[in-house]
């Protein structure tokens, strides 16, 4: 079943076209990776799906409903939640307060309590650091917090923008293991990455983005063995 579908979406920054005529779909239960170099339009795609940017053309559908014109904060309530690039946590708030902000649009107390438990069991570190200010935590911990906070909205589609950015290699592995775990618990995941190796290995399907258009598509394994992708993104030729 199609959860999210972009049809012929174009996004402009002023007169510069960041995304050109992009179409792709995410099926329920999948992990889908978008990989590409700097400036390929990865973050723009994410912001367009979460509603921070408006497309100049095209439509976005979520669970069959046209959400192209829907405000970002309403999309969260509908089930699209994002862990933004550069983590975007609230530096002055504690871990607990950050997580609580993630559930801002929710009213079901019991479901929220269950999601707090879920986040703390996925990231035991956050449970230990409940009262620490977000801004004083390490990069890896902030990334955990950003993902945990996004999960607090009980999303059906979780958008992860460069979860590995600035993290130590062993920690990247750990984050991707947790992403897989979140997916196995039933959350569909769309993730954007420069770390193509990990992103492709973990993904059910993947797209390669170059200057605002999708140039390759396939399963994660197909793209991992695709010579062109290998050369450009995996550092082997």
Work out whether 217 is an interface residue with another protein (CB under 8 A).
no
CB neighbour list of residue 132: distance below 8 Å, 6 or more residues apart = 94, 95
For residues 173 to 192, the per-residue mask of contacts with another protein, x marking binding by CB under 8 A and - elsewhere, is: --------------------
Give the count of beta carbons closer than 10 Å to the beta carbon of residue 237: 7
Our CB check for another protein shows the closer of 86 and 218 to be 86
Q: Pick one of 138, 177, 219, 225: the residue that binds another protein (CB under 8 A).
A: 138
- d(C-alpha 235, C-alpha 223), whole Å: 14
- d(C-alpha 68, C-alpha 137), whole Å: 36
Q: Pick one of 66, 108, 117, 184: the residue that binds another protein (CB under 8 A).
A: 117
- Cα Dmax for the chain: 53
**Tokens encoding 174:** 């750990």
Work out whether 110 is an interface residue with another protein (CB under 8 A).
no
Our CB check for another protein shows the closer of 28 and 130 to be 130
Distance of CA 164 to the CA centre of its chain: 11
Give contact residues for another protein (rule: CB under 8 A): 50-52, 71-73, 76-77, 81-82, 84, 88-94, 96-97, 100-102, 104-106, 109, 112-113, 116-117, 120, 127-128, 130-133, 136, 138, 140-141, 149, 153, 168, 170-171
């Amino acid at each position: 079943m199609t959860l999210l579908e972009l049809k012929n979406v174009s996004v402009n920054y002023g007169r510069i076209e960041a995304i050109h005529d992009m179409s792709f779909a995410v099926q329920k239960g999948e992990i889908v990776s978008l990989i590409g170099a700097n400036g390929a339009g990865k973050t723009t795609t994410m912001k367009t799906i979460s509603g921070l940017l408006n497309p100049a053309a095209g439509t976005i559908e979520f669970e069959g409903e046209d959400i192209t014109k829907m405000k970002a904060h309403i999309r969260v309530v509908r089930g699209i939640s994002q862990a933004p690039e550069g983590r975007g946590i609230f530096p002055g708030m504690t871990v607990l307060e950050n997580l609580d902000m993630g559930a801002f649009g929710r009213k079901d107390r019991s479901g929220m309590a269950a999601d707090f438990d879920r986040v703390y069991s996925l990231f035991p570190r956050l449970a230990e650091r409940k009262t620490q200010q977000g801004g004083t935590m390490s990069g890896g911990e902030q990334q955990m917090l950003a993902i945990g906070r996004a999960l607090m909205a009980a999303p059906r589609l979780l958008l992860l923008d460069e979860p590995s950015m600035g993290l130590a290699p062993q920690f990247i592995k750990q984050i991707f293991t947790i992403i897989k775990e979140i997916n196995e618990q039933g959350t569909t995941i769309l993730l954007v990455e420069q770390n193509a190796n990990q992103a492709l290995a973990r993904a059910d399907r993947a797209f390669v983005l170059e200057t605002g258009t999708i140039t390759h598509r396939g399963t994660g394994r197909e793209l991992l063995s695709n010579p062109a992708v290998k050369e450009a993104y995996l550092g082997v030729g």
